[in-house]
Amino acid sequence: MPTPLVELRNLSKRFGGVQAVDDVSLDLYPGEVVGLLGHNGAGKSTLIKMLAGAYPCDSGEILINGDKVTIETPRDARHHGIETIYQTLALADNLDAPANLFLGRELKTPLGLLDDGAMEHEARVVLQRLNPNFKNIKDPVKNLSGGQRQSVAIARAILFNAKILIMDEPTAALGPQETAMVAELIQQLKREGIGIFLISHDLHDVFDLSDRVSVMKNGRLVGTRDTSKVTKDEVLGMIILGKLPEEETAEELAELH
Amino acid sequence: MSSDAEAGKLESEAPKLAGLRLGPVDAFSRLTGLDTRLLAMLAALVVIWIVLDFLAGGIFLTPRNLFNLAVQGSAVGIMATGMVLVIVARHIDLSVGSVLGFVGMFIAFLQVQVLPLGADWNWPLTIAAGLALGALVGLWQGLWVAYGGVPAFVVTLGGLLIFRGAAFEITDGRTVAPLDPVYQLLGGGADGSIGATASWAVGLVAVAAVAFFSIKARGKRARYGFPVKPLWAEVAMICAWSALIIGFVMVMNAYTKPRSDIPRGIPVPVLILLAVVIVMTFVTRFTTFGRYVFAMGGNPEAAALSGINVKRTTVMIFVVMGILSAVAAVVTTARLNAGTNSMGTLAELNVIAAAVIGGTSLAGGIGTIPGAILGAVIMQSLDNGMVLLGVSSSLRSIVIGLVLIAAVWFDVVYNRNRR
Ligand SMILES: Nc1ncnc2c1ncn2[C@@H]1O[C@H](COP(=O)(O)OP(=O)(O)OP(=O)(O)O)[C@@H](O)[C@H]1O
Ligand SMILES: [Mg+2]
């Protein structure tokens, strides 16, 4: 067994009275897609935000390539090759696409000044690949459509040779064609050996793309299964009932329909 | 590439996708890169000037008055460039007038009562000390805002009282005068301008710089194969800026020194303002610091998630504001040839109004340095025009207050219509 790219061990996070994430352990191997499922408020975003450095974890540890690391800021996460597409997209609405793509790691001229030309050039190349209909690159992103904004967030995550990619509902705002393009992108990134956490409410997408699925409920991990060894109904049962497939009864599953 | 093809390419980039049809004003602003709001303010300025000149019986639009207007407005303009950053980052600074008074008093006191007046090194040293004090004040306020988590509104409201009080304490309220004669030139008095020849030189360099940088930027876009504006729009913009610069030099040269026909030329405080504008425009457009300020204003959470050190950037914003308040203090004390503890009283209102009138949005994330200068010119024109008309100071403050409210209201309505 190779060492996992990422190992989350017993992570917990509390917000005031809410135990958002409760003792969750997950791992991710190179070239693997792990789908993360769960009802609204299950704690999926909070879990991956700890890996992304958006929140420090209350307890637990994170290992990358078998080494224990401290990730306290987004900068730490990026340093370890972790890129994140946030559910909220995390775009500065008043800036244009190139400025958003390179926010926090701008390209500079030899004099240390912003090289907007080079940034716009790279932005056009990567956005063209993701979304050929995307033309108004110099507009502030608040003037873009939801799907275009999502394309910007995705482009930002793949621009910097991520080793670990976190996608929190990356296709929520995309049309069928763009969604297909993201699916293709995920396949390609997999082949490059990148590990991906994919959060989505779309069971079909998750089944098509992930090697394993993990299900969360009320902050706890219900379980993780190989996608090929479970049915959609069983996973639905995990999400709604919070039980593992072997614990689910036929009647309970029938009631879900 | 013919200009028609370029125009076509540009148009294909226009937001057809969004199904928008551009009106003539929007189309114009897209071609020139000036936003509609700035154009509206420019139109407002023209109207204000014409009306004031009419009411004042033709003494408003004279070289003499425009010269004075430029000198008086420099301090507000200098501080307004910093206020743009502060407001863009979703903060506010109510203390700039008091900081001006405090630093100005400190400079005057140091120059006259501590150091030997008349020594060559006296005034440069006092300026350096004043700038350092301004930076320290900014550091103090920025630390409270960024690391203390106290809203800037409260920190700087406290600062408004603290630094006004501190200005008084330095000399127990006594005025300090006169200041070093060389230092006085920085205020733009009788000898405080650079004369006709140097003014022309400055103007021509400015025109050359505008043309050079426009063409260079265009060349760079073309090299990358990006869409560029039509050539005629580019040339028209360069011509408009050149006309503005040349016109300004001509007006400043048309005002002569007392009892002579020697032209005064560009006043030194305006040159200082010009330098500040260039530096601040540069900072906002070409440095990561400037980019981060705008990102923070647009979406503070996104800025933090992008690895931007939001706290440190916030402190830097206030340090910059403090330094600019100190620069304004230099100009003001030099012009008054004195340090008085009431200097800069209520300046914060003019400064904030200038920034907001110039298109800085109180919602954060939006604002430009040239816009703030336009705003400062509008504010100073109103103030100066009302003085010419013999409007009492109480009535003037009523008008300035109303203008401030109207400007913010305009901002609110404008943003509402945009969304
Ligand atoms: N910043 C926060 N402050 C306080 N509570 C929070 C915060 N973020 C999340 N929570 C709470 O933590 C719990 C988990 O939220 P989280 O966003 O992780 O859910 P999720 O699984 O991503 O849901 P969704 O599918 O709706 O995106 C929720 O109860 C939520 O109210
Ligand atoms: Mg979520």
Residue with tokens 């190989």: A226
Enter the ipTM.
0.91
Give B282→chain A minimum CA distance, Å: 10
Is the C-beta atom of A43 inside 6 A of ligand 1?
A: yes
Residue with tokens 């990567």: A126
Cα(B391)–Cα(B166) distance, rounded to whole angstroms? Answer: 32
Cα distance between the two ends of chain A: 39
**CB-CB: which of A113, A138, A139 is closest to B287?**
A113
What dihedral angle (degrees, nearest 10) is formed by the CA atoms of B262, B266, B267, B270?
170
Residues of A contacting chain B (CB within 8 angstroms): 52, 54, 73-75, 78, 84, 86, 88-95, 99-100, 103-106, 108, 113-114, 117, 120-121, 124, 133, 135-136, 138-139, 143, 145
Check whether the bond before B267 is cis (ω within 30° of 0): no
Q: Which of B220, B288, B296 to mutate to test the interface with A (most CBs of A within 10 A)?
A: B288
What pLDDT score was predicted for residue B3?
39
What pLDDT score was predicted for residue B32?
67
Q: What is the CATH number of domain A6-254?
A: 3.40.50.300
Is the C-beta atom of A175 inside 6 A of ligand 1?
A: no
**CB-CB: which of A94, A104, A136 is closest to B15?**
A136
Contact A114 B285 (CB under 8 A): yes
Task: Kindly tell me the sign of the dihedral angle through the C-alpha atoms of A182, A187, A188, A192.
Answer: positive
What pLDDT score was predicted for residue A242?
86
- The protein residue with its alpha carbon nearest to ligand 1, atom 19, reads A41
Joined together, the tokens standing for residue B407 give: 């400007």
| Residue of chain A whose alpha carbon sits nearest to that of B14 | A136
Contact A94 B307 (CB under 8 A): no
What pLDDT score was predicted for residue B22?
61
What pLDDT score was predicted for residue A246?
81
Residue ranges of the domains in chain A?
6-254
What pLDDT score was predicted for residue A252?
75
Is the C-beta atom of A20 inside 6 A of ligand 1?
A: yes
Q: Please report residues of B whose CB lies closer than 8 A to that of A78.
A: 307
What pLDDT score was predicted for residue B21?
55
Determine the 3-state secondary structure of A166 from DSSP. strand
What pLDDT score was predicted for residue B13?
40
Determine the 3-state secondary structure of A193 from DSSP. coil
* A21 CA to centre of ligand 2 in angstroms: 12
DSSP B325-336: HHHHHHHHHHHH
Pocket test for ligand 1, best of A13, A18, A200 (most atoms within 8 A of CB): A18
What pLDDT score was predicted for residue A244?
85
DSSP A120-158: HHHHHHHHHHH-TT---TTSBGGGS-HHHHHHHHHHHHH
Determine the 3-state secondary structure of B240 from DSSP. helix
Cα(A97)–Cα(B66) distance, rounded to whole angstroms? Answer: 42
Return the number of CB contacts < 8 Å for A and B: 87
Contact A93 B299 (CB under 8 A): yes
- The protein residue with its alpha carbon nearest to ligand 1, atom 6, reads A15
- pLDDT tens digit sequence for A182-203: 899 999 999 999 999 999 998 9
Q: Please report residues of A whose CB lies closer than 8 A to that of B297.
A: 94
| Residue of chain A whose alpha carbon sits nearest to that of B12 | A135
Q: What is the DSSP letter of B116?
A: P
**Alpha helices (H) in chain A, listed in sequence order:** 44-52, 74-79, 97-101, 116-130, 146-158, 176-191, 203-209, 232-241, 250-255
Cα(B81)–Cα(A213) distance, rounded to whole angstroms? Answer: 54
Cα(A12)–Cα(B4) distance, rounded to whole angstroms? Answer: 61
Per-residue pLDDT in tens (0 to 9) along chain B, 419 residues: 333 333 333 433 433 333 345 667 677 776 666 677 788 889 999 999 999 999 999 999 999 999 999 999 999 999 999 999 999 999 999 999 999 999 999 999 999 999 998 899 999 999 999 999 999 999 999 999 999 999 999 999 999 999 999 999 999 999 998 999 999 999 998 889 999 999 999 999 999 999 999 999 999 989 998 888 888 888 999 999 999 999 999 999 999 998 889 999 999 999 999 999 999 999 999 999 999 999 999 999 999 999 999 999 999 999 999 999 999 999 999 999 999 999 999 999 999 999 999 999 999 999 999 999 999 999 999 999 999 999 999 999 899 889 989 988 888 887 777 65
What pLDDT score was predicted for residue A1?
67
What pLDDT score was predicted for residue B16?
38
Residues of B contacting chain A (CB within 8 angstroms): 12-15, 17-18, 220-221, 223-224, 226, 285-288, 291, 294-295, 297-299, 301-308, 365-366
State yes or no: pLDDT of A119 exceeds 90.
yes
**CB-CB: which of B12, B223, B365 is closest to A135?**
B12
Is the C-beta atom of A210 inside 6 A of ligand 1?
A: no
Whether CATH 1.10.3470 fits B49-192+289-397+409-419: yes
| Residue of chain A whose alpha carbon sits nearest to that of B300 | A92
- pLDDT tens digit sequence for A34-86: 999 999 999 999 999 999 999 999 999 999 999 999 999 999 999 999 999 99
Contact A92 B365 (CB under 8 A): yes
Residue ranges of the domains in chain B?
49-192+289-397+409-419, 194-266
